Amino acid sequence: MKDGKVVYSKQFGKYTYSNKSQAVNESTLYDLASVTKVAATTMGIMKLYENRKLDVYKYLGTYLPELRGSNKEFMAIRDVMAHRAGLFPWIPFYKETLVNDGNRTRPSSYFYNSKKSDVFNIKVASRMYMRGDYVNSIWDQIITGQNLQSTDYRYSDLGFIMLRKVVEEVSGMPMNKFLDDTYYRPMGLYTMTFKPLEKFPLSQIAPTEDDRYFRQQVLQGDVHDMAAAMLGGVSGHAGLFSNSIHLATLMQMLINGGTYGGLNYLKPETIKVFTTRHPGGTRRGLGFDMPQTDWSLTQNVTAKASRETFGHIGFTGTAVWADPQEKTRICIPFQQNVSYDGQ
């Protein structure tokens, strides 16, 4: 997209490597993985900041009472969003829910069941439900876990898992509902959603991986990220799905200075705060990734992009970038992990 118009839109490939596999099209939904951090969580924080309900200079503990007294209490929101809060990259929560029977590692029957019940009520994949009380254990592991010795830049999912809680605490509603009400529905972004199987047929959603280390099945319609799945499919670091056009439209609104379709969603000055690099020397803004300021370093976006370009990439192969100088959006959602053996 450039200047609000689609200049090139093309879909390539099929759902799997089989010649008989379904071809992707413009209606195909993709697991956005870490693009969730900007297309969901950061968008929520921007609106709360603009409405003066949240101050990015304040601490996590200001908004989350359960963090008070922990080593996460005095992490500033803006530092968490720029990955400069001293958090570890991730915690492999799923590993302690597996057992080794001598021949292979598999999900433990204590933690998972093939049927949904009052106890096993968290869907992590097709015919696989996790016991709901393990969500509390995940949260406890984050709260009580050690921090890094330095607050130098270190990319972390944990911060955005906590930021989802911040959005919900401040807004007073589930993050997915807050985003639906604030952006997605008013903008007509009907494919932009968490837990897409509640709204769309399986055939409209691209698969991500033949998971042989955790869920023992091809993942299609259930979020690829293990932690996001174990948190019920809605998280601050992963879980959002969308087609390419609706993702590009969201970025178009930001390029427009917060307006789309004649309606105002954000103020230009709000967008500027979050798309300005953190002063700690990182390339990142608040939530948004940006090009390296030193062009001699390996870049995460084309060298033709301006230094004001902002966006994010995701583990499943997704990428979205917006260049306010050129008024251009580049949206590349695709799924690259269909084969467990890496082919």
Where in the sequence is the domain holding 284, given as residue range(s)? 30-332
How many structural domains compose the chain? 1
Q: Could you write out the DSSP letters of every residue in 38-70?
A: IIIIIHHHHHHHHTTS--TTSBHHHH-GGGTTS
Interatomic CA distance for residues 208 and 222, integer angstroms = 9
Digit-by-digit pLDDT tens for the chain (343 residues) are 566 666 656 677 888 888 888 888 899 999 999 999 999 999 999 999 999 999 999 999 999 999 999 999 999 999 999 999 999 999 999 999 999 988 889 999 999 999 999 999 999 999 999 999 999 999 999 999 999 999 999 999 999 999 999 999 999 999 999 999 999 999 999 999 999 999 999 999 999 999 999 999 999 999 999 999 999 999 999 999 999 999 999 999 999 999 999 999 999 999 999 999 998 778 999 999 999 887 778 878 887 888 899 999 999 989 999 999 877 666 666 655 545 444 4
Instruction: Establish if 293 belongs to a structural domain.
Output: yes
Instruction: Establish if 72 belongs to a structural domain.
Output: yes
Instruction: Establish if 198 belongs to a structural domain.
Output: yes
Q: Give the predicted TM-score (pTM) of the model.
A: 0.93
CATH code for the domain in which residue 293 is found: 3.40.710.10
Instruction: Establish if 338 belongs to a structural domain.
Output: no
Instruction: Establish if 267 belongs to a structural domain.
Output: yes
Instruction: Establish if 41 belongs to a structural domain.
Output: yes
Instruction: Establish if 14 belongs to a structural domain.
Output: no
CA neighbor of 207 nearest in space, from 36, 339, 40, 12: 339
Sequence-separated (6 or more) residues with CB below 8 Å from residue 270? 46, 49, 50, 258
Scanning the structure block, which residue is given the tokens 């406890």? Answer: 140
Instruction: Establish if 3 belongs to a structural domain.
Output: no
Give me the half-sphere count of Cα atoms (radius 13 Å) on the Cβ side of residue 63.
25
